[in-house]
Structure 1
Amino acid sequence: MSTDEHLDPIPDSFILQPPVFHPVIPYGTTIFGGLYAGKMVTLQGVVPLHARRFQVDFQCGCCLHPQPDVAFRFSPRFYTVKPHVICNTHQGGLWQKEIRWPGVALQRGDSFLILFLFENEEVKVSVNGQHFLHYRYRLPLSRVDTLDISGDILVKAVGFLNINPFLLYSPRLEVPCSRALPRGLWPGQVIVVRGLVLKEPKDFTLSLKDGTTHVPVTLRASFTDRTLAWVSSWGRKKLISAPFLFHPQRFFEVLLLCQEGGLKLALNGQGLGATSLDQKALEQLRELRISGNVHLYCVHC
C-alpha cells in the first residue's frame, strides 16, 4: 500500500461555491453538491421601498414547466400592517399547508443579512444576526439542488458556506501559522483560510509580510469591540463597514482575491470590499502569517 493511500481524501463538500454579487432578479443558480446537513446559504440585500413580497426557494430541479418541487420557501410579505413571513413546501404540483411567522425584523427600505443553516431535520433562519425561525423538512434535503430568488428584492450578494461535519475531524494547524509566498501575489491568485473561532476569543489577524519582515497590510478582527479592519504598515486603521461575521465557536472562511490594485475580501461568502496595494508591493509579499484565538483547518495560498 502506498503512502498516499493512508491519507484521508478531502470531501467534495469541502470546496466552497463562489459567492455571487448583484445578481439580476429573478435569479436562479445550481447549488454545488446540493444541500446537506451543515451547509449555510447567506443572502445580503435591501428591501425596496415599494416592496410587497419576495421569496427564496430551495428547489428540487430548475425547470420552469412544470414547476419543480420546492423543499423550502421563505417568503417575507410587506403589504399587510405587520410584515410577516410565510414558509411552505411545494410537492407534486400542490402547495402544502403554509406556516406563518410574525414579527420579522424587516421593513421596506431596510438592509438585511439572512442566513439559512441546514441541519439534519430542519433549516434555521436568522435575520440580521438574530434567530428568527426553524422549519422541519417535508421533502428529503438531498433532493435540493437549486436556489431561486424572485419578487421585490435587491440582492447585493449570495454566499455558500460549508460548515461540514468532516471539518471537525480534519487535522488542525498550529497557531500562529505561517505560509510562504515564493512568488508574491499576482492578479487572480486566491488565499483561502478556514477555521473555527474559539470559545472566548480576543482577536484574529492575517498579516502579509515582504522579504524584510515588513508588514504592508494586516486584516484584524477584534472580538472586544466587534470590528474588522485593514491595518497598514504605519499603523493606520481602516474599519470595514459590514456586519461582524466572526462568532465564538462558529466556523469561518476568509477569501482574499488578489486583483490589480489590491486585495478583495470575502468572509463566509459575503464580499466585504477591498484594500488598495500597488502591484509592486503585492509581488514583494513573501509570507502569510495567521494568529489569534482560532483553530485552523485549511490555509491555501
Structure 2
Amino acid sequence: MSPGEKLDPIPDSFILQPPVFHPVVPYVTTIFGGLHAGKMVMLQGVVPLDAHRFQVDFQCGCSLCPRPDIAFHFNPRFHTTKPHVICNTLHGGRWQREARWPHLALWRGSSFLILFLFGNEEVKVSVNGQHFLHFRYRLPLSHVDTLGIFGDILVEAVGFLNINPFVEGSREYPVGHEVPCSHALPQGLWPGQVIIVRGLVLQEPKHFTVSLRDQAAHAPVTFRASFADGTLAWISRWGQKKLISAPFLFYPQRFFEVLLLCQEGGLKLALNGQGLGATSVNQQALEQLRELRISGSVQLYCVHS
C-alpha cells in the first residue's frame, strides 16, 4: 500500500472526519455523516482582544437563500457589561425563544477549548473542561449536516469525533489522560478489527509511541512519531526501524487520531484520516497480542478497540 493511498472501506461508526486546522472565518463545512447521538465536535481557538461576538451554528444545509434552519445556535457575546451566551433555533427563517446563560468562562485575549456533545434529546457544552450548558433540541438532530463558524474568533482547530469517549452514564466531560497508558486486548487482534487512539499533542513534544505487546511483553508492532526530526516509523520487535514515507501530521497543541486496521498478515495505518501505508505481521503473532501501550508527549481522550 503506497503512502497517501486510502484505507479499504471500514464501518461508518469508525470514520472520523479529518480535523481542520486554522480555517479562515467565516467558515462553513459539511459534517460527514451528519449529527447523531454520541457525536462530539471540538473547537479550539482564541478570543481576539477586540471581540464583540462570535457564533457556532449547527445548520440544516448550507444554502445562502433561503437561509437554512439552524438547529443549535451558540452565540457568545463580549461587548456588554456582563459577557454571556445566547442559544437559539432558527426555523423557517424565524428565530425562536432565545435562552441566555451568564457567567461565560471565555475572555477577550484568552484561548479556549469548547466541546459540543450531542445526546438523544439535548446538546451539552463544556468550556475549558467545565460543563457550561445544555440545550434541548427543537429540530431533529438528524437534519443537521453543516457546521458554520462566524464572527470575532480565531480558530486553531476543529475536530469531529464519531464515537462517544464519555463513560456510559457519566455526566462529566472527559479530560486528557496522562501517559503511558495500557489498554487490554483480551482476545488479540483479528482481521477487520480497528484500533483508534485520539488525543492532543503537548506543547513541547518529543515523541509519541503506540505499541502492541504479547503476554511476554514483547512488542512485534510499534508505531513511533519523532518530533525532533519529524519522522514516522515502524519499529520491529528487535528494534529495527522502517521509516514511513508520508507527511508528518502531528503538531503541538493540536488534536490527532491514529487508526490501525487489522488485516490478513498485517496492519494498515491512518493518521487524521490519511492512509500512511501498512506493516506486515504474522497472523499468529497478531492473535497473541494482549496489550496496547501508548506513551509519549500527548494527552489521551479516547482509546477504542
What secondary structure does 1:87 align onto? strand
Q: Distance in 1 between matches of 2:245 and 2:51?
A: 36
Q: How does 1:115-130 map to 2 (within 5 A)?
A: 115-130=115-130
Partner of residue 293, structure 2: 291
Q: Distance in 2 between matches of 1:70 and 1:27?
A: 15
Q: Distance in 1 between matches of 2:197 and 2:219?
A: 24
Partner of residue 77, structure 1: 77
Q: Output the amino acid matched with 1:84.
A: H
What secondary structure does 2:85 align onto? strand
Q: Output the amino acid matched with 1:174.
A: L
1:47–1:153 CA contact under 8 A, matched in 2: yes
Q: Distance in 2 between matches of 1:139 and 1:215?
A: 47
Q: Output the amino acid matched with 2:111.
A: S
Partner of residue 193, structure 1: 196
**CA separation of 1:82 and 1:193: change in aligned 2, threshold 3 A:** same
> Number of paired residues?
220
2:72–2:87 CA contact under 8 A, matched in 1: yes
**Superimposed CA distance per residue, residues 163-203 of structure 1 (whole angstroms, 9 cap, x where no aligned partner):** 259xx9xxx96169789xxxxxxxxxxx96248xxxxxxxx
Q: Distance in 1 between matches of 2:223 and 2:251?
A: 13
Tell me by how many angstroms 1:270 deviates: 2.0
What secondary structure does 1:108 align onto? coil
Q: How does 1:137-286 map to 2 (within 5 A)?
A: 137-163=137-163, 174=185, 193-194=196-197, 206-207=209-210, 262=248, 264=250, 270-271=255-256
Q: TM-score, normalised by structure 1?
A: 0.61
Q: Output the amino acid matched with 2:185.
A: E
**Structure 1: tracts of 5 or more residues without a match:** 1-8, 180-190, 196-204, 220-228, 233-257, 273-281
Q: How does 1:25-36 map to 2 (within 5 A)?
A: 25-36=25-36
2:56–2:73 CA contact under 8 A, matched in 1: yes
1:176–1:291 CA contact under 8 A, matched in 2: no
What secondary structure does 1:264 align onto? coil
Partner of residue 131, structure 1: 131
Partner of residue 87, structure 1: 87
Q: Distance in 1 between matches of 2:25 and 2:58?
A: 15
**Structure 2: tracts of 5 or more residues without a match:** 1-8, 169-182, 199-207, 213-217, 230-243, 258-275, 282-288, 295-299
2:211–2:219 CA contact under 8 A, matched in 1: no
Q: Output the amino acid matched with 1:91.
A: H
Tell me by how many angstroms 1:132 deviates: 0.3
2:211–2:293 CA contact under 8 A, matched in 1: no
Tell me by how many angstroms 1:104 deviates: 1.0
**CA separation of 1:108 and 1:30: change in aligned 2, threshold 3 A:** same
Q: Distance in 1 between matches of 2:109 and 2:59?
A: 28
**CA separation of 1:143 and 1:207: change in aligned 2, threshold 3 A:** closer
Q: RMSD value over aligned CA atoms?
A: 4.4
1:112–1:127 CA contact under 8 A, matched in 2: yes
Tell me by how many angstroms 1:261 deviates: 7.6
Q: Distance in 1 between matches of 2:104 and 2:228?
A: 37
What secondary structure does 2:37 align onto? coil
1:75–1:87 CA contact under 8 A, matched in 2: yes
Tell me by how many angstroms 1:162 deviates: 1.1
Tell me by how many angstroms 1:206 deviates: 3.8
**Superimposed CA distance per residue, residues 86-119 of structure 1 (whole angstroms, 9 cap, x where no aligned partner):** 0000000100010000011100001000000000
Q: Distance in 2 between matches of 1:157 and 1:83?
A: 24
Q: Output the amino acid matched with 1:193.
A: I
**CA separation of 1:21 and 1:139: change in aligned 2, threshold 3 A:** same
**Superimposed CA distance per residue, residues 219-252 of structure 1 (whole angstroms, 9 cap, x where no aligned partner):** 8xxxxxxxxx9899xxxxxxxxxxxxxxxxxxxx
**CA separation of 1:177 and 1:127: change in aligned 2, threshold 3 A:** farther
**CA separation of 1:83 and 1:174: change in aligned 2, threshold 3 A:** same
Partner of residue 45, structure 2: 45
**CA separation of 1:157 and 1:192: change in aligned 2, threshold 3 A:** farther
Partner of residue 108, structure 2: 108
Q: Distance in 2 between matches of 1:213 and 1:58?
A: 44
Tell me by how many angstroms 1:33 deviates: 0.5
Q: Distance in 1 between matches of 2:131 and 2:66?
A: 34
